[in-house]
């Protein structure tokens, strides 16, 4: 079992991987896909006059400010367009894909943050109408049922809070949680960078291998979204996943590349 | 087995039925929900500067003009917001609902119309970049698998063409097709009218009972969306469904009312 997370940043169209996924699927490889949708969400937010806002926590993590209207826009982008169009492309390529948000069947469950702290100009502010949280539980039985029947699950945030509210969650950490729940051998993160870089401005500075017990030492090279990937990688490895690869979604044969160790391999 | 279609017209919020559905579900009643989303789609189209257009076929049926951008907006509304928010409300009410578009698992399959004819000012025009069609096949096995595992399927257009393209299909006729495929005893249509009216301007003119073999005689009372409901009712009855009820989604206990024969009962 492999879990493949395809990012939603600028320049990534998950549909480009459909033929490659179909080939892997026909070979009998079993996997679950998780995808993002942040760039489509940003564009749509702009078009709807409710531009994206990002907040930084006191610990330095960045996340999307998710008021109820933003969550609607988030669902339109992640579930409505990106998920459906990706499933459509997979179906056209001959894969019987099924799209699921984390709300469906309580697939991704977690705690909603009752209050979040945001640092602005050096001051910390508390926000209470935010719908964000972190995935803690995965309904692995739903995924297993679909896989057993020959369906490829294509999973996207949001998740479901314990109170039954849709919540924005980080897709990378959700993918890690799914990988642990399915006892996956590998977790692949594909996004719009070549992997973890020593110097974020230099694509040639790729860190190609990290021993799992040394992962923390590399924290300082991660900025923005990459911090979440390293956190997800750590959670996956701690949960029993054999190997995590952070690879590039943009080239040809992106998935095969990552499976063959192209990118940053942690394990 | 009952199939319940909840319309997407103005004034209907399917979430209002969540508690009622939860009570029915707890009683052990098994059913599948199908919903629309036309009003949300119209509003979103307007906000995105791509206002909804409707075309009338030479036979007098009205349908949404669905160019590729409209289909994206359609997916945002039907799948992204309406489906997810409805599933969220059902989850909050204690029902383990799973949202599915017709694209997922090839749940709803049909033929895309290669060219559609539209009547405008008495002249017929041919449109070729439209993504619409009619559901002909239902993946009943996917619905049965979910129901067997205790999940309530919540289904929404679009459907999938035989070429693997997402297509806009009529939700009422899709619900009829699902009812036939699941050998349902009843098909319930809930929308923002009390039922079939003799005079569309007079809500008191409800036609409360129609014998199945006389359904065609009532065609002349149907306008707009109601034509599709009568067509769906005919298709359901011809396919072996015992009873079709066209009821009102807007009151309290809308589903119980329809199950108890409130509205237009055809059977």
Distance CA B211, CA B221 (A): 15
The torsion angle over the Cα atoms of residues B21, A148, B84 and B89, rounded to 10 degrees, is: 30
**Cβ distance of B81 and A72 shorter than 8 Å:** yes
pLDDT above 90 (res B62): no
- Average pLDDT rounded to a whole number, residues B109-129: 92
pLDDT value of residue A214:
96
pLDDT digit string, tens, across residues B191-202? 999 999 999 999
Name the closest residue on chain A to residue B90, using Cα atoms. Answer: A164
DSSP state of A183: T
Residue numbers in chain A where pLDDT is lower than 70: none
Distance from C-alpha of B53 to C-alpha of B64, rounded to nearest angstrom:
6
What count of Cα atoms within 13 Å lies in the side-chain half-sphere of residue A208? 5
DSSP string, B19-81: HHHHHHHHTT--EEEEE--HHHHHHHHHHTT----EEE-TTS-EEE---HHHHHHHHIIIIII
pLDDT in tens, A82-110: 999 999 999 999 999 999 999 999 999 99
- ipTM, interface predicted TM-score of the complex: 0.96
DSSP letter, residue A1: -
Average pLDDT, chain B: 95
Q: Is the pLDDT of residue B61 over 80?
A: no
pLDDT tens per residue, range B211-243: 999 999 999 999 888 999 999 999 999 999 999
Nearest to B101 among A72, A84, A141 (CB): A84
Residue with more model confidence, B252 or B224: B252
DSSP code for B211: -
* Residues on chain B touching A76 (C-beta within 8 angstroms): 44, 76-77, 80-81
pLDDT value for A223:
86
CB contact under 8 A, A77 and B78: no
Q: How far is B14 from chain A (nearest CA, A)?
A: 16
- How confident is the model over B130-154, as pLDDT tens digits? 999 999 999 999 999 999 999 999 9
CB contact under 8 A, B91 and A164: yes
Cβ(A40)–Cβ(A7) under 8 Å? no
Instruction: Give every CB contact of residue A14 below 8 A, 6+ residues apart in sequence.
Output: A6, A8, A33, A35, A82, A86, A89, A249
Tokens of A128: 């209470």
> Token pair 């998710």 is at which residue?
A66
pLDDT at A114: 83
pLDDT at A173: 97
Name beta bridge partners: A207: none
DSSP A30-77: -EEEEE--HHHHHHHHHHTT----EEE-TTS-EEE---HHHHHHHHII
Count chain A–chain B contacts defined by CB atoms under 8 A: 123
Q: Which residues of B touch A (CB under 8 A)?
A: 44, 47-49, 72, 75-81, 83-85, 87-88, 91-93, 96-101, 103-106, 141-142, 145, 149, 151, 158, 160, 163-166
Contacts of A75 in chain B (CB under 8 A): 80-81, 84-85
pTM of the model: 0.96
């Amino acid at each position: 079992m492999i879990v493949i997370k395809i990012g939603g940043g600028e320049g990534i169209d998950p549909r480009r991987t459909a033929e490659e996924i179909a080939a892997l699927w026909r070979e009998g490889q079993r996997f679950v896909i998780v995808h993002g949708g942040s760039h489509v969400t940003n564009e749509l937010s702009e078009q709807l006059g409710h531009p994206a806002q990002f907040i930084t926590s006191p610990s330095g993590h960045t996340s999307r400010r998710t008021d109820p209207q933003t969550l609607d826009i988030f669902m339109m982008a992640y579930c409505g367009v990106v998920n459906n169009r990706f499933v459509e492309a997979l179906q056209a390529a001959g894969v019987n894909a099924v799209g699921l948000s984390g709300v469906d069947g309580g697939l991704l469950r977690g705690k909603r943050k009752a209050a979040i702290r945001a640092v602005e100009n050096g001051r910390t502010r508390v926000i209470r109408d935010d719908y964000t949280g972190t995935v803690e539980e995965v309904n692995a039985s739903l995924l297993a049922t679909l896989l057993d029947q020959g369906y490829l699950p294509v999973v996207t945030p949001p998740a479901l809070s314990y109170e039954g509210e849709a919540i924005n969650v980080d897709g990378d950490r959700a993918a890690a949680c799914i990988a642990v729940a399915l006892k996956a051998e590998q977790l692949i993160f594909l996004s719009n960078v070549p992997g973890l870089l020593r110097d974020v401005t230099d694509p040639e500075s790729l860190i190609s291998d990290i021993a799992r017990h040394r992962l923390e030492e590399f924290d300082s090279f991660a900025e923005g979204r990459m911090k979440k990937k390293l956190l997800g990688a750590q959670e996956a490895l701690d949960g029993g996943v054999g190997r995590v690869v952070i690879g590039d979604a943009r080239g040809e044969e992106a998935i095969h590349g990552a499976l063959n160790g192209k990118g940053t391999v942690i394990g």
